[in-house]
Structure 1
Amino acid sequence: MRILAISDTHGKFNRIPDILEKAGDIDLVLVAGDITNFGPDEKAVELLDMFEVPVFAVPGNCDLRTIVETIEKSNATNLHKRMQVFRDVTFIGMGGSNPTPFNTPFEIEESEIASSLEKLVSDAKANGGYIVLLSHSPPFCTLDRVESGNVGCKSTAKLLGRVDLIVSGHIHEDGGIMEEQGTTIVNTGMASQGSAALIELDADSHKVDVKMIQV
């Protein structure tokens, strides 16, 4: 399965056609939040309608909370606090972010994130096979570093070693790929600046190959 993962468009979609061209044939698109820049919600539909393959999306902390309803009504699948199986791969999602100093619209307490993720992972494990977490925030101490230090989600970090792949965005300064405790972590970077990730999954072997895209 070939997956295009993007995040942090912040309402600027002009690089998406070039990203799609560079990605080539894909089976699925993952959108890791911050689709808009503090709204309006309807702006998200413009992005979600740009793809000809299935789209799974979660909101980011710079999206309004009401964007969840907009995603629900669009052609995309809302993955926020949800689970979806696609071609024998189980996808789970957590939008928004852990609290920040900036009081952005879609922030969630770590305790709520932890309880939601625990249920999702438990349900996903029952399915067997490959598990992918689509999270706006990267796990704490993984591709989450800003000038002041690491600011990722501690609750998401508890899933390291329990899921196969975590796709995130949020931290503009720390895009890239790494592996921790057997989990591959991807921070796609800012799609508004032409960054994305192309992911190839082999659900049978659990092999994952990730390449960063820059246009």
Structure 2
Amino acid sequence: MKILAISDPHGDYSKIRKIIEKVGDFDLAVIVGDLTNFGPDEKVNELMELFERPVFAIPGNCDQKSILKALDVSKAVNLHEKTEQIGNIRFIGLGGSNPTPFNTPFELSEEEIENALEGMVCSAENTDDCGIIVLLTHAPPHGVRDELPFGHVGSKAIQKFLDRVDLIVCGHIHEAKGTETVGKTVVVNPGEASKGSCALITIEEEVEKPIEVKFVEV
């Protein structure tokens, strides 16, 4: 499966069509938060109309919580606190972020994040036909693709799921674009879509084959 990973468009979709054209063939797009820049929620429809392939999306901390309703009625699959399975790949989603100093609209406590994810990840781990677990979060795990000049700002709750899932696609920290592997978990921050960044992630059906990540700029 080829997955187009996008994060942090922040309401600026001017580069999205060019991203889609440059990436070429892919099976699924995942958009991991900050779809808008504090709203309006209706911009979700403008974004989703750019895609002809299926889209899984979660909100970010700069989206209003009311965006969940807009996602529910859009072309995309709203994956916040939900799971979807395609073949032997289980996708798990959680939007928003751990607390920030800025009191942004969609923040969750670390306890809320852990409680939301534990049940979904545990269920995936114990499902016979689930070979690969992909976690879509806006916030990165603490210590991985989360560093700012004053330190690490990722979620300590998400950090607990490292080495339990095969892939984490996250965003939030614009400066932390890149990929990193912790245990069996590949963590990918595709960069700011508003600036033309994305990642193309290839997952083979055979579980033992490595996940491939290619960064694309337009």
TM-score range, shorter-chain basis? over 0.9
Report the Cα distance in structure 2 between the residues aligned to 1:110 and 1:203, rounded to whole angstroms.
33
Q: Percent identity?
A: 51
Task: Please say if 1:30 is aligned against 2:33.
Answer: no
Cα deviation, 1:105-161, whole Å, max 9, x if unaligned, reads 000000000011100101111223100000000110100011111100111111100
**Residue 216 of structure 2: aligned partner:** 213
Q: Secondary structure at the match of 2:21?
A: helix
Shift of 1:214: 1.0
What is the correspondence of 1:1-215 to structure 2 with a 5 Å cutoff?
1-127=1-127, 128-206=130-208, 207-215=210-218
Report the Cα distance in structure 2 between the residues aligned to 1:181 and 1:126, rounded to whole angstroms.
19
4+ residue segments displaced more than 3 Å: none
- Contact 2:31/2:55, CA 8 A, preserved across alignment: yes
Shift of 1:203: 2.5
Normalised to the residue count of structure 1, the TM-score between the two structures is: 0.98
Give me the CA root mean square deviation.
Answer: 0.8
Shift of 1:18: 1.1
Q: Secondary structure at the match of 2:8?
A: coil
Structure 2: give runs of 5+ residues left out of the alignment: none
Report the Cα distance in structure 2 between the residues aligned to 1:126 and 1:42, rounded to whole angstroms.
38
Q: What is the one-letter code of the residue matched to 1:58?
A: I
Q: What is the one-letter code of the residue matched to 2:68?
A: V
Q: Secondary structure at the match of 1:137?
A: coil
Q: What is the one-letter code of the residue matched to 1:103?
A: N
- Contact 2:141/2:156, CA 8 A, preserved across alignment: yes
Report the Cα distance in structure 1 between the residues aligned to 2:97 and 2:207, rounded to whole angstroms.
32
Q: Secondary structure at the match of 1:92?
A: strand
Shift of 1:20: 0.7
Q: Secondary structure at the match of 2:80?
A: coil
Report the Cα distance in structure 1 between the residues aligned to 2:11 and 2:135, rounded to whole angstroms.
23
Between the two proteins, the alignment pairs up a number of residues equal to 215
Structure 1: give runs of 5+ residues left out of the alignment: none
Q: Secondary structure at the match of 1:192?
A: helix
Deviates more, 1:203-212 or 1:115-124: 203-212
Shift of 1:69: 0.8
- Contact 1:83/1:124, CA 8 A, preserved across alignment: no
Normalised to the residue count of structure 2, the TM-score between the two structures is: 0.97
Q: Secondary structure at the match of 1:202?
A: coil
Q: What is the one-letter code of the residue matched to 2:18?
A: D
